[in-house]
């Protein structure tokens, strides 16, 4: 029986999707896990794989076309099956024929004309104008962190063109076309608005001097013409994927990636069975925890200080703000000035937690940190206090159905908050591996935008720097953030006697619109119980 495939909702803000490319045509055989199409959302272009097997009988959205979420994207069934009742009698659009080619060419022509609408020159035949992509829902401009192709280099579909720095992360940007890189619309280190000309690709020797003038000057050498860039000695092109370790780009379908996040599976340890080793749904379903490799050593969760500057007596210096630092400043200011913060503090006796950690770390191939224990205890405490796991939405409060904890990580450009999805369902080993992986990739700018979205609560830990207590600004749209201090040996009173104890101070910043004082205090008391009596986490 035929199955109707609808336009998927691939992000929390997506209302419609655009079919960037079909990987299957009407009449093609489709297997579970095959890539049906590439769907462009409001944040990125994602592969969409089939969950059913059969023959592609109907394409509901032409390549380059857009449709609302949950509308008919495709129909898969038995070859020759009558699907008129599912399509309202409409004939399936031809795929692979002259009409599709014509539609594709019209779409490309339309996109090209839109991209260069502010220039008077026509786009020569065979030339493609690449625009600055919108890689996140809040992105208004992008900065070219690094070019991987120089003017004159041959470019193939799938080659890495450049690294684009958005307001959230640095992301690889791949070419969708074959040809020669004829022009760079933005110099390395320069920024440009979304949809402005990023690059021009076409046949070698084509004159594109009048097409797509740069929209934004580079941060350095703003007076330098693009022609000088073309004549400059070419640097060796870096077409290879990042080498090894956790910075490696993993080929994985969006569905498999979501399942891996939900299950706390490290995708770097999964062997893919799809095309070219791509990880698909069944690989995650059949994954055995015994396959987990010990995580490489990485800095602790909230860890690195800002890049040290050289002090020069009597000389003032300047550091241009990165996109990340600009957006951090904007978001923190908005949070501080719009959400009425208040703070609660509590002392935790960590004696039993220290013993429990030592016992856990005595197990083979196991090493967890106090931060991992705090993350786990916080996630379980949020189950009992769902009001703290909520968000303010103007005329209503949204009580989140998942517990996704954001862990603050310091990077040279500022602060990012990678998110552990469904943290309450993860064990210590999974939390430890995920935090180390994300912290390492955050510092090398290897995190993807979707790995920093969807948090419902955040944790910031400065204990490794010896900070005993501090307060944090709430990471919107969360309603609370936990600040973790160092474990300090100090005198405490126990059973009427003064003894040495290991004390850690926690500070909880709350948005008073959502979390009342008593609610915040009860949450901290539950968290205190879990940390002072770690066995209660097993109940």
**From the centroid of its chain, how far is CA 390?**
21
Q: If you average pLDDT over each of 68-77, 209-218, 289-298, 480-489, which comes out highest?
A: 480-489
Backbone Cα Rg of the chain: 26
- Residue 174's nearest CA partner among 48, 45, 83 is 45
Q: How far apart are CA 343 and CA 470, in angstroms?
A: 10
- Of 12, 82, 207, 516, catalytic: 516
44 vs 71: CA distance, rounded Å: 20
What is the spatial distance between Cα 437 and Cα 229, in angstroms, rounded to a whole number? 37
pLDDT-based confidence at residue 479 (cuts at 50, 70, 90): very high
Residue 422: pLDDT band with limits 50, 70, 90: very high
Q: Indicate whether 249 pLDDT > 80.
A: no
Residue 4 has pLDDT above 80, yes or no: yes
Whole-prediction pTM: 0.50
Q: Are 4 and 86 in contact (CB under 8 A)?
A: yes
- Residue with the larger pLDDT of the pair 325 and 22: 22
Are 30 and 55 in contact by the 8 Å Cβ rule? The answer is yes
> Quick one: how far is CA 93 from the chain centroid?
35
Phi, psi values for residue 522, rounded to 5°: -65, -40
Q: How confident is the model at residue 112 (pLDDT cuts 50, 70, 90)?
A: very low
Chain position carrying tokens 């919108």: 134
Mean pLDDT for 482-511 is 94
pLDDT for 254 equals 65
Residue 97's pLDDT is what?
40
Confidence of residue 506 (pLDDT cuts 50, 70, 90): very high
Q: Report cis status (omega within 30 of 0) of the bond before 477.
A: yes
- Residue 254 or residue 434, greater confidence: 434
**Is residue 401 very low, low, confident or very high in pLDDT (cuts 50, 70, 90)?**
very high
What tens digit of pLDDT does each residue of 287-341 get?
A: 775 444 433 333 333 334 455 567 777 888 777 777 667 777 887 888 888 889 9
- Main-chain dihedrals φ then ψ at residue 409, nearest 5 degrees: -125, 125
pLDDT in tens, 449-477: 788 889 999 999 999 999 999 999 999 89
Q: Cβ(538)–Cβ(360) under 8 Å?
A: no
Does 516 participate in catalysis according to the annotation?
A: yes
Q: What are phi and psi of 263, to 5 degrees?
A: -90, -5
- How close are the terminal C-alpha atoms of the chain, in Å? 46
| 237 against 135, higher pLDDT | 135
With beta carbons less than 8 A apart as the criterion, state whether 520 and 514 touch.
Answer: no
- For 179, other C-beta atoms within 10 Å of its C-beta total 19
3-class secondary structure for 404-431?
A: CEEECEEECCEEECCEECCHHHCCHHHH
Residue 410 vs residue 300, higher pLDDT: 410
Q: Which helix (H) or strand (E) holds 395?
A: none
Q: Please determine, for residue 145, whether its predicted confidence score (pLDDT) is greater than 80.
A: yes
Among candidate residues 23, 268, 341, 512, the one labeled active-site is 512
3-state secondary structure 152-183: CCEECCCCEEEEEECCCCEEEEECCCCEEEEE
148 as an active site residue: the answer is no
Contacts of residue 503, defined as CB under 8 A and 6 or more positions apart, other chains included, come to: 347, 348, 349, 350, 487, 488, 489, 490, 492
Counting every residue, how long is the chain? 539
Helix axes 370-384, 517-532, angle to 10 degrees: 130
Report the range of poorest mean pLDDT among 59-68, 152-161, 260-269. Answer: 260-269
Q: What value does the mean pLDDT of the chain take?
A: 79
pLDDT at 210 over 60: yes
Concatenated DSSP letters of 48-75:
EE-SS-EEEEEESS-TT-EEETTSEEEE
Predicted local distance difference test score (pLDDT) of residue 121: 55
Distance of CA 190 to the CA centre of its chain: 23
Going by C-alpha positions, the residue among 374, 334, 335 that lies closest to residue 354 is 374
Rounded to whole angstroms, the maximal C-alpha distance in the chain is: 89
Q: Chain-centre distance of CA 521, in angstroms?
A: 33
Main-chain dihedrals φ then ψ at residue 431, nearest 5 degrees: -60, -45
The residue-averaged pLDDT of 79-95 equals 64
Contacts of 434 (CB under 8 A, 6+ apart): 264, 266, 420, 426
């Amino acid at each position: 029986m035929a199955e109707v495939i609808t336009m998927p909702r691939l992000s929390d803000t997506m209302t419609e999707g655009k079919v960037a490319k079909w990987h299957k045509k009407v009449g093609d055989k489709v297997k579970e896990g095959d890539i049906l199409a590439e769907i462009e959302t409001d944040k990125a272009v994602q592969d969409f794989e089939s969950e059913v097997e059969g023959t592609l009988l109907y394409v509901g959205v032409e390549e380059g076309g857009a449709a609302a979420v949950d509308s008919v994207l495709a129909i898969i069934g038995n070859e020759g099956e009558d699907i008129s009742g599912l399509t309202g009698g409409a004939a399936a659009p031809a795929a692979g024929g002259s009409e599709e080619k014509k539609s594709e060419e019209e779409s490309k022509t339309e996109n090209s004309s839109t991209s260069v609408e502010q220039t008077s020159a026509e786009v020569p035949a065979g030339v493609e104008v690449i625009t600055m992509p919108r890689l996140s829902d809040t992105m208004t401009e992008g900065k070219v962190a690094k070019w991987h192709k120089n003017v004159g280099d041959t470019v193939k579909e799938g080659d890495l063109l450049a690294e684009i720095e958005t307001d959230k992360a640095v992301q690889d940007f791949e070419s969708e076309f074959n040809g020669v890189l004829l022009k760079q619309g933005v110099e390395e280190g320069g920024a440009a608005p979304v949809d402005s000309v990023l690059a021009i690709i076409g046949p070698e020797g084509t004159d594109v001097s009048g097409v797509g003038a740069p929209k934004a000057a580079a941060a350095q050498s703003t007076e330098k013409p693009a022609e000088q860039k073309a004549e400059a000695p070419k640097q060796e092109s870096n077409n290879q994927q990042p080498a090894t370790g956790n910075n490696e780009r993993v080929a994985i379908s969006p569905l498999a990636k979501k399942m891996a996040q939900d299950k706390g599976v490290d995708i770097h340890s999964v062997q893919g069975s799809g095309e070219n080793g791509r990880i698909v749904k069944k690989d995650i379903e059949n994954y055995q925890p015994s396959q987990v490799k010990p995580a490489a050593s990485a800095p602790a969760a909230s860890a690195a200080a800002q890049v040290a500057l050289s002090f020069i007596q009597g000389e003032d210096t300047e550091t241009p703000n990165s996109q990340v630092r600009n957006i951090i400043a904007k978001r923190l200011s908005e949070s501080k000035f719009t959400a009425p913060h208040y703070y609660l503090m509590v002392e935790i006796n960590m004696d039993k937690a220290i013993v429990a950690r030592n016992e856990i770390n005595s197990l083979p191939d196991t090493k967890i940190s106090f931060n991992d224990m705090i993350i786990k205890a916080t996630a379980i405490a949020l189950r009992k206090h769902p009001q703290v796991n909520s968000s303010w939405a103007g005329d209503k409060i949204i009580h989140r159905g998942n517990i996704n904890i954001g862990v603050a990580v310091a990077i040279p450009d500022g602060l990012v908050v990678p998110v552990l999805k469904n943290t309450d369902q993860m064990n210590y080993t999974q939390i430890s591996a995920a935090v180390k992986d994300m912290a390492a990739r955050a510092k090398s700018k290897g995190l993807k935008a979707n790995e920093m979205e969807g948090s419902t609560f955040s944790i910031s830990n400065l204990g490794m720097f010896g900070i005993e207590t501090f307060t944090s600004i709430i990471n919107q749209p969360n309603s609370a953030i936990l600040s973790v201090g160092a474990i300090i040996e100090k005198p405490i009173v126990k059973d009427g006697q003064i003894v040495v104890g290991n004390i850690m101070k926690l500070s909880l910043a709350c948005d008073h619109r959502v979390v009342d004082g008593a609610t915040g205090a009860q949450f901290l008391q539950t968290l205190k119980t879990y940390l002072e009596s770690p066995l209660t986490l097993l109940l």
